[in-house]
Amino acid sequence: METDWTKLRPILFESIGTTVYLVGVTFVVAGLIGLVLGTALYTTRKGGLLANAPIHLVLNVLVNLVRPIPFIILLAALGPVTLEVVGTTIGSEAALFVMIVAASFGIARIVEQNLVTVDPGVIEAARAAGAGPLRIVLTLLIPEALGPLILGYTFVVISIVDISAMAGTVGGGGLGDFAIVYGYQQFQWEVTLVAVLIIIAGVQAVQFLGNWLARKVLRR
């Protein structure tokens, strides 16, 4: 059966817009939350700027609990919380909430791992000079780790694109839903291929931009 692109084209464009919305909002919101959580993990560890064993333990356990859970299972597990926060467990907003939760904890670990690479001697020198923790974090710690952080966040965007494809399981729409509903389920392989190629093109563009930004920062 020949693919009717006259009918599918508007749905495809809508699906692209939904994916961009889900990925963009998740990246911005989860990126900020993850940065705060990751920085807290780093600064509260033993010998850190704000060393606090109980807080570090709680944050570490939370990240270790949430991060490994497959997204499709997290969608179901957070159903009651999603219903309380969003008011529904289906649709783009419900999927978006769970995507933000999943991405935030993943980003937190990436941020922590990149901050660990900063030379402790530089931080100790700043502390000896009288700089406070907040100033050290904002003007020294994050800028020193900025190149690796950009690469880490680039990887995160690609991961978010991946989980956005599962948003269709709760009626979230997007390219993943388009590929399954209008391609796979109707044996329209051309439709699935087009969706896959668009996702690949988007991922490649993000990777290129991330690599370029990281090189610019590292050459400063």
Q: Which long-range contacts (CB under 8 A, 24 or more apart) does 136-145 make?
A: 136/49, 137/39, 137/43, 137/49, 141/39, 141/42, 141/115, 142/35, 142/39, 142/115, 144/118, 144/119, 145/114, 145/115, 145/117, 145/118
pTM of the complete model: 0.90
The structure tokens listed for 129 are: 């000079």
pLDDT digits (tens, 9 = 90+) for 55-87: 999 999 999 999 889 888 998 899 999 999 999
**pLDDT of 220 above 80:** no
The structure tokens listed for 105 are: 């904890």
Q: Are 28 and 100 in contact (CB under 8 A)?
A: no
- Measured CA to CA, the distance from residue 167 to residue 165 in angstroms comes to 6
The structure tokens listed for 138 are: 């904002």
Supply the pLDDT for residue 96: 93
